[in-house]
A and B are shown apart, each in its own frame.
Chain A
Amino acid sequence: MNASAHIRYVLRLADTSLVLSQRLGEWVGHAPALEEDLGLANISLDLIGQARLLLTYAGELEGRGRSEDDLAMSRDQSDFLNLALVEQPNGDFGRTIVRQFLIDAFQMELYEALQRSKDARLAEVAARALKETRYHLRYSSAWLVRLGDGTDESQRRVQDALDDLWRFTREFFAADEVDEEMVRAGIAPSLAEIEPRWSARIDEVLREATLKRPADVRYAWHGKRGDHSEHLGYLLADMQFLHRTYPGASW
């Protein structure tokens, strides 16, 4: 097995959780109600917990002595391998919920399958993350239904967000050589097997939310290959500024 593919695969999982965690953290003190402030912060906390375990593991696989902090704080944009969806700006609360719903539904199916990975470390992290992700999906689905099947204004906003963010979902299932190699090694599940399960869940919740599923797109973003939208650089600047200005700072 190709060691570098293995590291890249783990980094994709780690970075997706880390970047989404950072985005959700931007809501702290700004959410529409205290309950949602706590809700989004709690999801962010779960995601950063997952990212820490995965980054630590990626550092071990790499074997160059890089810690979770080194990997989170000292890599540049093109070294981040997160899905492009999660770096998209929060927008309004409805847009954040749409983004969360799309990725929660994906992570749930992914972790469900990853529990049976031949990589025992990944299987272990997936089993924990699955329980948390299931809870996140309950939250984001419930809000999507309230907003979609809510007022004309709330429905318009979440439908607009869905129409806009939908193009980033193609990347979830666009398998490249890293994904294929991991499937061959018995480490990762086949994305083609996950897609119908994800799709069915999306349809079920959208129907209840009285939202229209956008048409599928052909173009896949390549966040997981390090090609990002313009938004990631700003996010990293915010996240990494302190560590890069005062390396090793602690308190």
Chain B
Amino acid sequence: MVIVETDRAAAVWHVLSDVMDPEIPVLSVVDLGIIRFVRWDANDELHVGLTPTYTGCPATEVIRGSVRRALSRAGYANAHVDTLLSPPWTSDWLTREGRQKLAAFGIAPPAEPVSSPRRLFGEPLVACPKCGSDSTEKVSEFGSTPCKAHYRCTECLEPFDYFKCF
């Protein structure tokens, strides 16, 4: 019974791993760590728990719609997408694969865990996703979306986005 339940959830996770973030199209909602659970209630209805990254992120509504459509296309017509506010999302929930995909896409992944004690002291060391150099500087705390800051590499001179530690 337990094994069947796990298989059934794995199939849903598989569907979700193809739902991409509208702003960072290489990252799936699973890579982002915003899917918090997949489960069935007492009436055997599917519930998917989704945590928004930033409270006001406009992509949240789009993502919710994409998740619902993907599930419906895969045969889960009446799936519920439950919004979870607590615990709040953190960039520590990005998967290892997600971090690699970000870097390959040209966005520097969060430099270190939010819980790291080094975060108390100044700026994190952000490596340039283009040339790998550590000689980078922050241009602005804010970038093109709420989850990113704007950096510049002083080695290869390329500007780039940095996915904030949050």
A131 interface residue, CB < 8 Å from B? yes
Q: What residues on A are CB-neighbors of B139 within 8 Å?
A: 35
Q: Contacts A36-B140, A38-B140, A139-B141; is A49 near B166 (CB within 8 Å)? A: no
15 extra interface residue pairs, beta carbon distance < 8 Å, beyond A38-B142, A39-B142, A125-B55:
A35-B142, A36-B140, A41-B142, A45-B56, A45-B146, A46-B55, A48-B56, A53-B55, A127-B87, A127-B88, A128-B88, A129-B55, A131-B90, A135-B164, A139-B142
Q: Which of B32-50 contact A (CB under 8 A)?
A: none
User: Are B141's CB and A49's CB within 8 A?
Assistant: no
Q: Which of A117-147 contact B (CB under 8 A)?
A: 123-125, 127-129, 131-132, 135, 138-139, 142
Q: What residues on B are CB-neighbors of A128 within 8 Å?
A: 55, 85-86, 88
Q: Contacts A35-B150, A127-B87; is A52 near B56 (CB within 8 Å)? A: yes
Q: Within the complex, what minimum Cβ distance (angstroms) separates A248 from chain B?
A: 19
> Number of contacting residues on A, CB 8 A?
27
User: Are A42's CB and B88's CB within 8 A?
Assistant: no
User: Are B144's CB and A45's CB within 8 A?
Assistant: no
Q: Contacts A127-B87, A128-B88; is A49 near B56 (CB within 8 Å)? A: yes
> Number of contacting residues on B, CB 8 A?
21
Minimal Cβ-Cβ distance residue in A for B164: A135
Minimal Cβ-Cβ distance residue in B for A21: B56
User: Are B146's CB and A53's CB within 8 A?
Assistant: no
Please, how many angstroms separate the alpha-carbon atoms of A132 and B129 in the complex? 25
Please, how many angstroms separate the alpha-carbon atoms of A9 and B105 in the complex? 45
Q: Contacts A50-B56, A128-B88; is A138 near B146 (CB within 8 Å)? A: no
Interface mask (B50-71 → A, CB under 8 Å = 1, otherwise 0): 0010111110000000000000
Minimal Cβ-Cβ distance residue in B for A138: B141
Q: How many A-B residue pairs have CB under 8 A?
A: 64
User: Are A42's CB and B85's CB within 8 A?
Assistant: no
User: Are A47's CB and B142's CB within 8 A?
Assistant: no
Please, how many angstroms separate the alpha-carbon atoms of A124 and B164 in the complex? 22
Q: Per DSSP, are chain A's interface residues mostly helix, strand or loop, or mixed?
A: helix
User: Are B146's CB and A38's CB within 8 A?
Assistant: no
User: Are A131's CB and B140's CB within 8 A?
Assistant: no
Q: What residues on B are CB-neighbors of A49 within 8 Å?
A: 52, 54-57
User: Are A45's CB and B143's CB within 8 A?
Assistant: no
User: Are A45's CB and B58's CB within 8 A?
Assistant: yes
Minimal Cβ-Cβ distance residue in B for A40: B142
Minimal Cβ-Cβ distance residue in A for B83: A53
Q: Which of A79-133 contact B (CB under 8 A)?
A: 123-125, 127-129, 131-132
Q: Within the complex, what minimum Cβ distance (angstroms) separates A136 from chain B?
A: 9
Cβ-neighbour of A38 out of B85, B90, B143 (below 8 A): B143
Q: Which of B126-166 contact A (CB under 8 A)?
A: 139-144, 146, 150, 164, 166
User: Are A131's CB and B166's CB within 8 A?
Assistant: yes
User: Are B142's CB and A46's CB within 8 A?
Assistant: no
User: Are B56's CB and A38's CB within 8 A?
Assistant: no
Interface mask (B96-117 → A, CB under 8 Å = 1, otherwise 0): 0000000000000000000000
User: Are B54's CB and A38's CB within 8 A?
Assistant: no
User: Are B140's CB and A39's CB within 8 A?
Assistant: yes
Please, how many angstroms separate the alpha-carbon atoms of A131 and B56 in the complex? 13
User: Are A135's CB and B57's CB within 8 A?
Assistant: no
Q: What residues on A are CB-neighbors of B142 within 8 Å?
A: 35, 38-39, 41-43, 139
Cβ-neighbour of B146 out of A35, A46, A52, A142 (below 8 A): A46
User: Are B140's CB and A53's CB within 8 A?
Assistant: no
User: Are B55's CB and A42's CB within 8 A?
Assistant: no
Q: What residues on A are CB-neighbors of B90 within 8 Å?
A: 131
Please, how many angstroms separate the alpha-carbon atoms of A138 and B166 in the complex? 13
Q: Within the complex, what minimum Cβ distance (angstroms) separates A37 from chain B?
A: 9
Q: What residues on A are CB-neighbors of B164 within 8 Å?
A: 135
Q: What residues on B are CB-neighbors of A35 within 8 Å?
A: 139-140, 142, 150
User: Are A47's CB and B56's CB within 8 A?
Assistant: yes
